[in-house]
């Protein structure tokens, strides 16, 4: 069984590492969280 919170955190860390524009990173993270919650 997949731990969705852990997956979301890993994805956030991934985007935070590759995306230097913080606004873009925030938008991507919001989209990821929305997708995970659905």
pTM strictly above 0.95: no
Residue spans per domain, the chain: 4-37
Give pLDDT tens digits for 1-38.
778 888 888 888 887 777 666 677 788 778 877 877 76
Dihedral (CA of 22, 23, 25, 26) sign: positive
Closest CA to 32 of 6, 12, 13: 12
CA pair distance 3, 18, nearest whole angstrom: 23
Note the pLDDT of residue 2. Answer: 77
CA pair distance 25, 31, nearest whole angstrom: 10
Note the pLDDT of residue 4. Answer: 86
């Amino acid at each position: 069984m997949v731990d969705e919170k852990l997956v979301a955190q890993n994805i956030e860390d991934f985007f935070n590492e590759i995306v230097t524009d913080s606004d873009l990173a925030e938008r991507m993270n919001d989209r990821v969280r929305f997708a995970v919650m659905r």
